[in-house]
Structure 1
């Protein structure tokens, strides 16, 4: 088998590595006819974190997505009102047969990991500390996007995904939205779910929002999602769903909303948030009308850092702490041990979502897209990015918050039985803004109708190249970001010979650390990895700089094909290429708009609103009217 594998690599070349498809993932609905969806896991009492909450009244009805349901335990089953699918005369701009190569519109599932380190999935660098078999098996049977780029922090990446535009063109280039700041993605920019609804799709969202909450028009329920259960902020307590500030003075409030309304403590019962999101996703899939295509936006909060202590990793659970790779990991690095436990929770979330699609009998007509919003925040940067989760981007340089590869080159793959040429790695340039036009075309939409005019989007549809099994796509350059407030910029350019050149300039936080963070408890002699075809080959000793790069003093230039770990700054050797990219940055910057960022507004203090973060700038409805009323969702999974 090993010999066959090596021959396959030689036959297709280093830039088109192909692997046998895993036919066991070619699920057929008929095979599942005698299988039942698993029962919810056994649960027990949860941690209340001593946060007093006003409980919602029990016993009155609530309208959800057009369906009136009584307040009872049975009422957790909700449905989206049937939407008129695409058809001649429907007025919709789509093809009910789906995009090129498809006989019908596919279901689309986005699964986004939060602050996931490049090395913290086992398929990427073969990391033995973080086995992720459920994610890995679809990555290897899908198409691994070896050059997938996101923005370096949360809000900008999500903004680019939702709008299909570079963040400097929508005012979202500078920072992540913090609690109580009155800004978000400008309302004139249409969101991904709104485009998909134009094509007849039902839309669901769970997990982390982080795109604006100061008014109701910025909430998920107003930006295209039929059903949503989301933590509105960038981070928060995973049991009582509170988030807040340490300075200018301590404050905290509950931040979770369902369909735009606060979810009270007696509704969620302090359920472990990753578990809560997964259960909602399972429910939506189970009760979805199979005659309608759907979009599921599963924006996991795992493995983000904690807000209450910026040096801490987020909460984990005993069922993940006791898994052998976690339990056997050394106690010398307790934060790293906690991090790898949360990554087990991420893998479990992915498994349960894909299982739900299988049990429903719809996985054969579903496209699953996985990516991380940015790299892991490394310990040296914790004070600038609200903590470190002690994830690993090794051997890539730096991490979250900066535009070295460790911050922006993110793990990603696409999987579907609808893709005939999968089980491979592609090196085509892919930017997070490309996903909107890509799935829109796959769903039967005309990409020329996206935006205000043809070419209005920064993203490019890569559907045809993915479907046809190509190792190249329409993109030959991308801008990582341009920010003039926290001055920094970076972009990547592909020349006519396939070379990839990256320019990076500006500040790296306080410019005190510009290097690499090795995976804890590893060394050159004990890397704790196994070889994988997706691993990064630095071509220089990992973590040892060859030619110094100090981007706040002068821009650096890297040859990413031969130096993916950014060890050798070639700016002095290639002045013409450096100048070409500087000119391109100048031209791109001329297409930008001012940043939307605004400072904290004391009027948002949850202490003024009963302990909740509310849309305090809304001109009509600051406090929910009527409030959400419901019986407890299910017991906590804290056991």
Structure 2
């Protein structure tokens, strides 16, 4: 017990130092350009619908921003957050596709069929076409809509592409990760293709340009060619800082003293992304958008600790339902905010951006019933109480069932072998296998993980299937209260059972060999015809490839990546 007390003291001290070390007297970004009348005196209601810039980063850890005490330099993010509203009770999803789908639809993954894993390049799957997306609602409200960056919501047919889902223009990648310079993506040995698209065409001519620079330049170009008198929505989904760890040399040089190579490269990528955000902010001011703009910054999931990221002092990492996997970096910066320069502890989830932004745009939400998100703008701008009181982190019936879980352990209400997690008020419940559960310090040492690896490793996790934490009192999830508070466990299991009754079937079809880039001119892109779509969406297997040798090769690749996926997603070593 003494060890836990000492550890808790050190963690609180670290966090306190991180916040107190910020220099609040630094001049803000707002001071870089003369302010307009909106900055001095805002009318009761916005004179015009605001311009909306939504910036999403990939795999950036909770600890990996300056104002959380990081050793990584993020001066732009620090200043934007300091002058806006920091969201310190903000939640996202543990992996890529789920966060993006919930942002775009305002619905939990159990309500879109995307509650298991991610959409893989060769799957005949995408964001359900019956969902009215955020950019479509903004188009209805008179907005020009643009997307720059990573899509990762499926592309097997043209109807799934960003330009068919509400965006007027698109420059970016369709798959989950690509090379930052060549834009190649391999979905297994020999299954490689180019993945950079301009609209619905392959952007071969852009190869060689570092994606973070390319995307920031495209945003500036869009702003330069548009009129600030007309509302605009730009969704900037940076590839950074997802693997592969690649950065221009000048940024790596800044962190040459870092002993850990992965952390050094990762830090360079974060700082490069920070400068890209600075350039976007500068463009907003240069072209006359800033005074009537709302900038939202969000991460998509927790950091990948084996690729340089850090979620310290939170528990777990990307791919897990511990706080390190689902608590995100988030803030809003805008001259339109009524109560600026503060930290908000209002409960906010990534699904909330849909109704919040559509409401800001004066759009109509009456024809999209059943949203899981809430309009949290009053909580952000005015400091009012959040309308959200609970979050369903997820229910995944396909994930490996926990060995020690059972319906009996769940009071006959819930099979605790099923991977699920929910937050109600200050309580958080996890069942099944939540994923890798250690607390991992920042990888600053040359020989990390080395001896540090075993500092806080847990050995009792595999024998459990239920955990309960008071997240308000214990944000680092160190004290499991499931045995002390069976009444709370029972109440939260009832909420899980309620949500599960509203879930639709999981969409996770088998991969299809026809998606191979070799059949699409060497690039990843739509490959299914209408007849194919009808057959595969009905649940039947895609046509088998001809030729025994080729068939066996594909089977081996499928088996290999199924095992690899299981290993990555189960977060076991």
In the TM superposition, residue 321 of structure 1 has moved relative to its aligned partner by: 1.1
- Residues 135, 145 of structure 2: 8 Å contact kept: yes
Kindly report which structure 2 residues correspond to 1:251-270, keeping only aligned pairs within 5 A, or say none. 251-264=191-204, 267-270=205-208
Kindly report which structure 2 residues correspond to 1:492-531, keeping only aligned pairs within 5 A, or say none. 492-494=423-425, 500-509=426-435, 513-521=436-444
Structure-2 separation of matches of 1:361 and 1:170: 38
Structure 1 residues 30 and 397, CA gap change in structure 2 (3 angstroms): closer
State which of 342, 363, 367 in structure 2 corresponds to 1:424. Answer: 342
Alignment match, 1:321: 252
1:118 lines up with 2:62 in the alignment: yes
- Residues 27, 358 of structure 1: 8 Å contact kept: no
Q: Give CA deviations for 1:461-517 in whole Å, capped at 9, x if unaligned.
A: 0112222223x31011111111110141111111xxxxx1100111245xxx42111
Q: Give CA deviations for 1:222-270 in whole Å, capped at 9, x if unaligned.
A: 0011111011111011111111222xx4210011111111111xx2142
Structure 1 residues 549 and 411, CA gap change in structure 2 (3 angstroms): farther
Structure-2 separation of matches of 1:20 and 1:305: 33
Structure-2 separation of matches of 1:502 and 1:157: 19
DSSP 3-state at the match of 1:278: helix
State which of 327, 330, 343 in structure 1 corresponds to 2:270. Answer: 343
1:127 lines up with 2:73 in the alignment: no
1:178 lines up with 2:120 in the alignment: yes
Structure 1 residues 31 and 413, CA gap change in structure 2 (3 angstroms): closer
Alignment match, 1:569: 480
1:406 lines up with 2:324 in the alignment: yes
In the TM superposition, residue 348 of structure 1 has moved relative to its aligned partner by: 1.2
Structure-2 separation of matches of 1:241 and 1:138: 30
Return 5+ residue gaps in structure 1 as ranges. Answer: 1-16, 33-97, 307-313, 380-388, 495-499, 524-541, 623-639
- Residues 172, 196 of structure 2: 8 Å contact kept: yes
- Residues 35, 291 of structure 2: 8 Å contact kept: no
Structure-2 separation of matches of 1:618 and 1:204: 27
- Residues 27, 363 of structure 1: 8 Å contact kept: no
Structure-2 separation of matches of 1:225 and 1:269: 23
Alignment match, 1:371: 298
Structure 1 residues 480 and 279, CA gap change in structure 2 (3 angstroms): same
In the TM superposition, residue 609 of structure 1 has moved relative to its aligned partner by: 2.2
Alignment match, 2:360: 442
State which of 379, 385, 393 in structure 2 corresponds to 1:465. Answer: 379
Structure-2 separation of matches of 1:503 and 1:106: 38
| Greater share of helix | 2
Return 5+ residue gaps in structure 2 as ranges. Answer: 1-19, 37-41, 400-417, 447-453, 534-573
Alignment match, 1:615: 526
Structure-2 separation of matches of 1:618 and 1:227: 24
Kindly report which structure 2 residues correspond to 1:18-167, keeping only aligned pairs within 5 A, or say none. 24-26=28-30, 101-124=45-68, 126-128=69-71, 130-167=72-109
- Residues 336, 391 of structure 1: 8 Å contact kept: yes
1:392 lines up with 2:310 in the alignment: yes
Structure-1 separation of matches of 2:166 and 2:58: 22
In the TM superposition, residue 178 of structure 1 has moved relative to its aligned partner by: 1.5
The two structures have a TM-score, normalised by structure 2, of 0.80
Structure-2 separation of matches of 1:617 and 1:421: 50
- Residues 507, 552 of structure 1: 8 Å contact kept: no
Structure-1 separation of matches of 2:460 and 2:308: 24
In the TM superposition, residue 361 of structure 1 has moved relative to its aligned partner by: 2.0
The two structures have a TM-score, normalised by structure 1, of 0.72
- Count of residues in correspondence between the two structures: 483
Alignment match, 2:9: none
In the TM superposition, residue 20 of structure 1 has moved relative to its aligned partner by: 7.8
Alignment match, 2:511: 600
Structure-1 separation of matches of 2:463 and 2:509: 25
1:208 lines up with 2:150 in the alignment: yes
Structure-2 separation of matches of 1:341 and 1:565: 27
Q: Give CA deviations for 1:532-567 in whole Å, capped at 9, x if unaligned.
A: xxxxxxxxxx9758x987377321000111110011
DSSP 3-state at the match of 1:298: strand
Q: Give CA deviations for 1:168-222 in whole Å, capped at 9, x if unaligned.
A: 1111111111111110111000111000001100011111000011011110110
Structure-1 separation of matches of 2:296 and 2:100: 14
Structure-2 separation of matches of 1:612 and 1:105: 39
Aligned Cα root-mean-square deviation (Å): 2.6
Q: Give CA deviations for 1:323-350 in whole Å, capped at 9, x if unaligned.
A: 2xx12222xx111111111111111111
Structure-2 separation of matches of 1:119 and 1:145: 14
Structure-1 separation of matches of 2:25 and 2:84: 8
- Residues 141, 422 of structure 1: 8 Å contact kept: yes
Q: Give CA deviations for 1:148-185 in whole Å, capped at 9, x if unaligned.
A: 11111000000000000001111111111111111011
- Residues 394, 518 of structure 1: 8 Å contact kept: yes
Alignment match, 1:294: 232
Which structure has more relative contact order (CA 8 Å, sep 6+)? It is 1
DSSP 3-state at the match of 2:217: helix
- Residues 105, 442 of structure 1: 8 Å contact kept: yes
Structure-2 separation of matches of 1:144 and 1:31: 22
- Residues 400, 407 of structure 1: 8 Å contact kept: yes
Alignment match, 2:394: 481
Structure-1 separation of matches of 2:329 and 2:60: 8
Alignment match, 1:274: 212
